[in-house]
Amino acid sequence: AALAAGCGSDSTFQVKGTIAGAKNGTLYLQKEEEGHYLNVDSLEMGKNGKFEFTGDATEPQMYYLAFGKAAPVLSFFAESGTITIDARIDSLQKAKVKAGREQELYDEFLSYIRDFSGKKDKVYLDILRSSAVDGDKDSIEVYRSMYQSLERRQAQFVANFVLTHSDSRVAPLMAHTFLNQGYSPLLDSLVKSMSPEVADSKYGREFAGFVSAAKNTLVGMSAPDFELKK
């Protein structure tokens, strides 16, 4: 990492910041390859919670911070330049990440997804309550219909977000993450909508590969019903 920084590579990034409340321990910088988290670098954190890593990203790519062998606790889009993270250990979802355009789009996307998740969690609890011994059985189908409607609306949002931001690496990554329930011809439309640069990126190739495999192997499965809106 030090050598990369010294060479002044256009792909070099520096991520630094504070995780307030974090105790002494090992913090890892990670990236994902073929479904596995790979440790890129590590450091021993002090009581002040400050950290700093230097890494290399030949294209904007998701990187992660993790403590020890635990699952990653923070994610961010790494691209050349400086990335700053301000977080608290007891509210990591509210971490403030200052980076490039990809991170801004990622944050915007997540704010909507969290809203959908909150609504779906509430309806799911209503389903569980109605399914209980003393629950209102007549309401179960109503709540199930509400949940399915939220699923469709979320799929609609993701698809339109991908279409609108087809020149961003965030688009294929989010499509692959949230539209992976099965094949729909509209997934081909999303693949074709991506700019040549994004289509040839890590996440563009992975999403196109998923769509191709889903089309040929996921027999009998279908993605949530949604439409694209330009």
Question: What does the pLDDT look like over 174-228, one tens digit per residue?
Answer: 999 999 888 888 999 999 999 999 999 999 999 999 999 988 875 444 555 556 6
Q: What pTM was computed for the model?
A: 0.82
Would you call 193 helix, strand, or coil by DSSP? helix
Q: What pLDDT, on a 0 to 100 scale, did the predictor assign at position 90?
A: 87
State which amino acid sits at residue 163: L
Strand pairing class (36-45; 25-33): antiparallel
Q: What is the pLDDT of residues 68-78, one digit of tens each?
A: 777 788 999 99
Residue 22 has pLDDT above 90, yes or no: no
Torsion from C-alpha of 63, 68, 74, 76, nearest 10 degrees: -10
| Alpha carbon distance 195, 182 (integer Å) | 23
Residues 122-137, buried b or exposed e (16+ Cβ, 10 A)?
ebeebbeebeeeeeee
